[in-house]
Structure 1
């Protein structure tokens, strides 16, 4: 199909007349397996991100009705967890055949843009957002991680648990060095339970052991693992948790490695506790750098 300036694929024809009042379509994200298809639209010089469920995207094997229901349930999540580090929900409404969420547009690039840089290209292509992010200074990456951790401490404080958070949920604006989280649709009130077994939502490289076990608790301790895994993805060897692959201090490594313990009881008990330990180590690292600089001058 073609709408305005964008071409995309679906499994079958679908009516998108409801898009016209929202503006001109300039890009489409049509390769998601969630059942959603998303559009970048522009109206009167303002850009918006529009997420829609009701059609059958090319990589979707589920029921559009279920995708629509999930999108409806996401509305109170975005309203309850509104935060400076999350893209802002502006509007939502039903159409004849589906459901729509309208967000503010953020000029960031997805760190897991599998539609453009799939497989090894994510890690090796110099144009890949993930590759470029990994080439940023340690300080810039630590700042991005701090935003991620701060938001998830807020999620915990609101008595929610993060579900399906991985590097595909992270947008990074390389021009302004700003980060946003773009996808919290599956976040739920805490505690939650793994009701899908090994197919529970999330990326294999950042899921905790309980996110593969039917009936296992999904809670703050789970999220501690997820955040530790993200830290290894952005500062280390991703699923290789060895210190040899770690790019910053040993103190921060100790915090991260505790977070990704296979045994739940050996991890930090809460995201707040994990974030506090991380922040203390980070502050200590910066003080050492400051003192070293003072001695040199």
Structure 2
């Protein structure tokens, strides 16, 4: 939603950190968890995020129930979506996923507490929007793209390993894109975050062209109402992720690819428009990727 379309903006401050909402909301309960050191208030999901510190520990709190400036839906819908995400985090607990610590109703909303991870989001649209993401040397995405190819391939390997686990658990990844990746440049570590929309298979596209996800990583069926969203869909997303991190993103030409011909052939097959031409499962895709890698 563009700035000029926003109906109302309220400035709020907690522990010397300022942020904006569409209306005043009581966050006094955060004091029990810790001191706020950062706020993520520009999400279109209906959630607002807080970084908190207490006794040399840091936490990330995701809260639904307020009205963030870029959200024009109903807060109750955001609460419902966050509630549905709880069993997802419980069942998909994994070393490469940010760890959920607690969750509870509070102050007409719902809060989920995660362990804090000292990483930077590869799609930091609140700091590096539009072209800045790709050309600003301070942008996490720009810095990641300029890392050694082996470090980037290692991140892809972790992403694929996690999603093979997701598939084995009977889940389908929904709304996974570079904004779901946190990277620690100091220690070269990666965590996946924000898997709120992952669902138990089988599922279909019940929304149409605006189905959850970023255009650059969505499969063709994620734009069509009633189409199946399944392992083949996720294979496309993983191939698209490879092009995003070691290639030309939506330009799938070999000239923009940095990781050799064999891996390119795997990524190209994964991103075939025709579902039947892709790998059938994430496990099959990952095995082909590993073989090409070695």
Which of the five TM-score ranges fits, normalised by the shorter chain?
over 0.9
Tell me the residue number matched to 1:77: 88
In structure 1, distance between residues paired with 2:189 and 2:127: 21
Residue of 166, 185, 194 corresponding to 2:177: 166
Tell me the residue number matched to 1:231: 242
Deviation at 1:191, TM superposition (A): 1.5
Q: String of CA shifts for 1:139-161, please: whole Å, max 9, x gaps.
A: 00000000000000000000000
Tell me how large the CA RMSD over aligned residues is. Answer: 0.5
Tell me the residue number matched to 1:65: 76
Matches within 5 A, 1:200-239: 200-239=211-250
Q: Is the 8 A contact 1:194 1:213 kept in 2?
A: yes
**Residue 53 of structure 1 pairs with residue 64 of structure 2:** yes
Deviation at 1:97, TM superposition (A): 1.2
Residue of 106, 113, 128 corresponding to 1:95: 106
Q: Is the 8 A contact 1:52 1:98 kept in 2?
A: yes
In structure 2, distance between residues paired with 1:182 and 1:127: 21
Task: Point out where structure 2 has 5 or more consecutive residues left out of the alignment.
Answer: 1-11
Secondary structure at the aligned position of 1:265 is classed as: helix
Q: Which has the higher helix share?
A: 1
Secondary structure at the aligned position of 1:75 is classed as: helix
Q: Is the 8 A contact 1:5 1:27 kept in 2?
A: no
Q: What TM-score comes out, normalization by structure 2 length?
A: 0.96
Deviation at 1:81, TM superposition (A): 0.2
Aligned length: 283
Deviation at 1:28, TM superposition (A): 0.2
Deviation at 1:251, TM superposition (A): 0.1
In structure 1, distance between residues paired with 2:226 and 2:74: 23
Residue of 250, 258, 263 corresponding to 2:269: 258
Tell me the residue number matched to 1:34: 45
Tell me the residue number matched to 1:150: 161
Deviation at 1:5, TM superposition (A): 2.8
**Residue 16 of structure 1 pairs with residue 24 of structure 2:** no
Tell me the residue number matched to 1:245: 256
Matches within 5 A, 1:261-280: 261-280=272-291
**Residue 140 of structure 1 pairs with residue 170 of structure 2:** no
In structure 1, distance between residues paired with 2:276 and 2:121: 33
Tell me the residue number matched to 1:189: 200
Task: Point out where structure 1 has 5 or more consecutive residues left out of the alignment.
Answer: 284-297
Tell me the residue number matched to 1:86: 97
Deviation at 1:18, TM superposition (A): 1.4
